[in-house]
Every structure is written in C-alpha cells, then in structure tokens.
Amino acid sequence: MGRAVYRLYDVVLDDSIGRSTPDVEHERAVAIFDLVEENSFEPLGHAGGPYKLKLSLVDSKLVLGITTDKDEQVATHILSLTPFRRIIKDYFMICESYYEAIRSSTPSRIEAIDMGRRGVHNEGSQTLMDRLDGKIRVDFDTARRLFTLVCVLYWRG
C-alpha cells in the first residue's frame, strides 16, 4: 500500500463538547483544517485508511476513536491527560498573554510571547507523540495539530 493511505481524511470533536471563546474556536478550526489538509497518521498494525478520527473526553481521559472511510472500526485508544496537565495549563496561560498582546503590545513583545507559546506547544506535541508511541505513528506537524485539539478538548472539559 502507498503512503497516502496512512492519513486522516476527517477529524471530529465529540458532540458533548460545548463552544468556547472565539480565539479557542479559531485555533480549533485552523488545526482541524490544517490536520485534514496535511498529515501522517498510521495506526500500527492496520493495513491502511484513509482514517476518520473522533476525539472526545471521558472521565478526564482523551479518547481517540479511529475508523476507516468505509466506517470500519480500526481502534480506540484512551490516553490519560495527566502528563499534559501542566503543559496545557502553561499553554493556555501563555495564549491568554499572546491574545492580549496582539491587542495592545509592540511587535517585539508579541514575537517574544509567540516564541514562548510555540516552545510550550512543541513540548506538548512531543509528549503526545511519546504517548502515542506503539499505537499510532504521526509526524511532528501532525502531532502539533493534534495537540492543539487536545488543548481545546481539555479546556472545554
């Protein structure tokens, strides 16, 4: 099978998750769009997709439900969010500073905050890759976009 079948064609957030702030909703929409446009997603031990990913929170755990484009069940992985709590808390604190800075600060201040935001985001993305190790193979850009969605789910949960 070619590499193109190890990818996501759709990402859905659980219906039970309510709306959030416009900034967070924007981040979510951009992450889903970017994720579907370009990703590398390989559930280990499966012959190939493309795949649909449904993300949800159940009992403070991240649930990744994976099906094929023919609605065949591939896998459900449940990850504890404990390893992400500090990173997500730091990420949202720095995001608040960033959105505030966009409205009122100098370009150099905005850039400095954004560099910090990206650093924390990268740490969360690497943690997600580590947690998916042995279950789902993703590249770093895919992990970054998934981490953004994990943050949105966690924030709302």
pLDDT of residue 2: 47
What is the number of structural domains in the chain? 1
Domain of residue 14 covers: 3-156
Average pLDDT over residues 91-120: 93
Percent of the chain with pLDDT over 70: 92
Nearest Cα neighbor of 102 from 91, 117, 119, 90 is 117
Note the pLDDT tens digit of each residue in 99-108.
Answer: 899 999 999 9
pTM for this prediction: 0.86
Beta bridge partners of 57: 62
Q: Given a cut of 80, is residue 117 above it in pLDDT?
A: yes
Q: Is 53 exposed, middle or buried (0-12, 13-18, 19+ CB in 10 A)?
A: buried
What is the residue-averaged pLDDT of the chain? 89
- The beta-carbon contacts of 130-134 under 8 Å, at least 24 apart in sequence, are 131/79, 131/83, 132/77, 132/79, 134/44
Q: Given a cut of 60, is residue 3 above it in pLDDT?
A: no
Q: What tokens were used for 108?
A: 């150099």
pLDDT of residue 17: 65
Note the pLDDT tens digit of each residue in 55-70.
Answer: 988 888 889 999 999 9
